[in-house]
Amino acid sequence: MPKKRLIAVLIVRDGKVVQSIRFKHTNVIHSNPVHAIEAFNKWAVDEIVVLNVSRQPDASGHFAEVVSRVSRHCFVPLSVGGWIIDSSIAARLLRSGADKLVLNTAFQDDHDLVHVLSRRYGRQCIVCSMDVKRNAEGETEVMVDRGRRATGKSPLEWLRHTEELGAGEILFNSIDNDGARKGYDLDTLELLCAKSNVPVIAFGGVQTWHHLMQGINAGADAVAAANIFHYTEQATRKAKSYLADHGVDVRVEGRSLV
Amino acid sequence: MVSVVDYGIGNLGSVLNALTEIGEDASLATTPAEIGAAGKILLPGVGAFSEAIENLRHTGLADALAEHVDRGRPLLGICLGMQLICRQSAEDGQHEGLGFVDAQVLRLPSGPNHKVPHMGWSTLELARDSAIARGLQSGSDVYFVHSYYVECNDPSDVIARCMHGISFCAIVGHENVYGLQFHPEKSQEIGLSILKNFADL
């Protein structure tokens, strides 16, 4: 069994790293994403996810340029997503140094695109970003289109659907928990982890290292956070030590050989 | 100077970034002539074995790589590149490989605790000393993404092993030919150090 992974997520709007609170993005944390990568203390993190939450599609290739700059400093797997609306954008992001593609709305609106990308680049290249929200009836429902559109589907229905279309991994996030600092949506997470045939990444709501631990205990293969990593010195290294100290099988930092 | 074989398999950016990071000059080799002129060759690869080997054959790159190896010059295969340098692969039927290493490529068995593809950070166990593994210690974690593995007919070709359901060869070495099943360009310091070892051969 591979090690449990610690993942840092960069939420990028118009080329700048922003804070995310219930999918609203206001505060700019870093004007240059490369500085954020460096601030993440890159030797401790196991993987990096960069999500483009700009309001407009990336017609000019500006986000691909960000990916390209980030990838030059990133020697762990790099997943990128946001506005992957056709296969040429996907190809451009991979050429810019991305290793995996994060898809969300395409799982609702463009099944062909998911299918084509999964076949062309392999299932391991396709990450399904699953955003859930509790609706008026108190049921947890999957949302797409940056959290604005309800699918009417439950997380387990969505899991089956996305695995069938070719998802190789699930990046699970709860809009209610995002930026709320109370930890992951553990009930839904546990349900997904029990049923998923592909790795599940827990995301959304981390305020303490204990929250990461809760994600692991719920069965997640990887635990992710965004905001918290920007505001603590040596954050990812401390998070990693915490997990290791609590008996989680994490990657030990490599000693330099040369 | 390391020449990276470009045979239309897409993203070479990560490998080139990693070579730049360790201060090594890197160039792309797309023609047999460029391979003929190369000192050290890095053969990357993702995707299907049959398509990749077909590509290498019809472009004449396979013959050029064989000449390179015959001249005793170093070659390093990464991920699918490591599988391509073997005798044969069982991925979607039986396919002949480049045959630089006496080994075959087999499907990883899957199980509840060892899903296939094997994706993520797993631990290396060193089997023997080698210039490519200089400074490397057992217990180091590197990043894997693969569904097939290399089984060597000569156990002395195995430099390091990894466990995922079964124990498989993670670093292979035969004379001047080497292979890494993991992605050194995505394995942080450990991976960069192994690339540096290759560049310094």
Span A45-74, pLDDT tens digits: 999 999 999 988 887 889 999 999 999 988
**pLDDT for res B8:** 77
pLDDT (average), residues A6-35: 88
B11–A1 C-beta distance less than 8 A? no
Categorize the per-residue pLDDT at B88 as very low, low, confident or very high, splitting at 50, 70 and 90.
very high
pLDDT (average), residues B32-54: 93
Residues 51-110 of B with CB under 8 A from A: none
Instruction: Measure the CA–CA gap between B51 and B68, rounded to whole angstroms.
Output: 22
Name the nearest CA neighbour of B90 among B151, B11, B131, B40. Answer: B151
Start-to-end C-alpha separation, chain A: 29
Q: Of B13, B137, B143, which is closest to A77 when you measure between CB atoms? A: B143
Instruction: Measure the CA–CA gap between B175 and B75, rounded to whole angstroms.
Output: 10
Pairwise pLDDT comparison (A24 vs A188), residue with the higher score = A188
Burial B134-150 (b: 16+ CB within 10 A, else e): eebeeebbbbbbbebbb
CA distance B67 to chain A (A): 30
Query: In angstroms, what CA-CA distances link B40 with A22, B3, B55, B68, B131?
Result: 51, 6, 21, 9, 14
B47–A77 C-beta distance less than 8 A? no
Query: In angstroms, what CA-CA distances link B47 with A239, B11, B80, B145, B168?
Result: 34, 11, 7, 11, 20
Start-to-end C-alpha separation, chain B: 11
Domain ranges in chain B are: 2-199
Q: Is the pLDDT of residue A257 over 50?
A: no
CA distance A251 to chain B (A): 6
CA of residue A142 relative to chain centroid, distance: 16
Return the structure tokens found at A77.
Answer: 């797997």
Tell me if chain B has a CB within 8 Å of the CB of A95.
yes
Average pLDDT of the residues of chain B: 95
pLDDT (average), residues A171-178: 96
Name the nearest CA neighbour of B73 among B26, B44, B36. Answer: B36
CA distance A96 to chain B (A): 7
pLDDT (average), residues A229-241: 84
Pairwise pLDDT comparison (B5 vs A234), residue with the higher score = B5
A2–B121 C-beta distance less than 8 A? yes
Query: Dihedral of the CA atoms A197, A203, A206, A212 (nearest 10)?
Result: 30
Categorize the per-residue pLDDT at A256 as very low, low, confident or very high, splitting at 50, 70 and 90.
very low
Instruction: Measure the CA–CA gap between A90 and A95, rounded to whole angstroms.
Output: 9
Q: Is B185 a catalytic residue?
A: yes
> Catalytic residue among B79, B86, B152, B162, which?
B79
**pLDDT for res A230:** 79
**pLDDT for res B47:** 79
Contact residues on chain A for B116, CB-CB shorter than 8 A: none
B141–A3 C-beta distance less than 8 A? yes
**Share above pLDDT 70 across residues of chain A, in percent, rounded to a whole number:** 96
B115–A99 C-beta distance less than 8 A? no
Instruction: Measure the CA–CA gap between A142 and A130, rounded to whole angstroms.
Output: 7
B11–A97 C-beta distance less than 8 A? yes
Q: Is the pLDDT of residue A254 over 70?
A: no
Burial A144-179 (b: 16+ CB within 10 A, else e): bebbeeebebbbbebbebbbebbbbbbbbbbbbbbb
Options 3.40.50.880, 3.10.690.10, 3.20.20.70, 3.40.50.300; CATH of B2-199? 3.40.50.880
Domain ranges in chain A are: 5-245
Question: Looking up tokens 């990749």, which residue turns up?
Answer: B52
Q: Is the pLDDT of residue A32 over 90?
A: no
If you ran DSSP here, which 8-state letter would residue A247 be given? T
Return the structure tokens found at B89.
Answer: 């692969």
If you ran DSSP here, which 8-state letter would residue A178 be given? T
Options 3.20.20.80, 3.20.20.70, 3.30.70.2740, 3.30.70.260; CATH of A5-245? 3.20.20.70
Instruction: Measure the CA–CA gap between A193 and A187, rounded to whole angstroms.
Output: 10
From the number of C-beta atoms within 10 Å of its C-beta (0-12, 13-18, 19+), residue B71 rates as exposed
Instruction: Measure the CA–CA gap between B188 and A235, rounded to whole angstroms.
Output: 18
B13–A122 C-beta distance less than 8 A? no
Q: Is B146 a catalytic residue?
A: no
pLDDT for B112-148, tens place per residue?
A: 888 888 999 999 999 999 999 999 999 999 999 999 9
B32: preceding bond cis by omega (within 30 degrees): no
Contact residues on chain A for B193, CB-CB shorter than 8 A: 254, 256-258
- Rounded to 5 degrees, φ, ψ at B53 are -70, -35
pLDDT (average), residues A27-36: 84
Q: Is the pLDDT of residue A258 over 60?
A: no
Name the nearest CA neighbour of A121 among A106, A100, A96. Answer: A100
Bridge-based pairing of strands B158-164 and A16-21 is unpaired
Pairwise pLDDT comparison (A230 vs A237), residue with the higher score = A237
pLDDT for B134-183, tens place per residue?
A: 999 999 999 999 999 999 999 999 999 999 999 999 999 999 999 999 99
pLDDT (average), residues A160-182: 95
**pLDDT for res A73:** 87
pLDDT for A87-134, tens place per residue?
A: 999 999 998 989 999 999 999 999 999 999 998 888 889 999 999 999
**pLDDT for res A47:** 94
CA distance A248 to chain B (A): 14
Q: Is B79 a catalytic residue?
A: yes
Query: In angstroms, what CA-CA distances link B94 with A249, B97, B104, B106, B175?
Result: 37, 10, 10, 10, 26
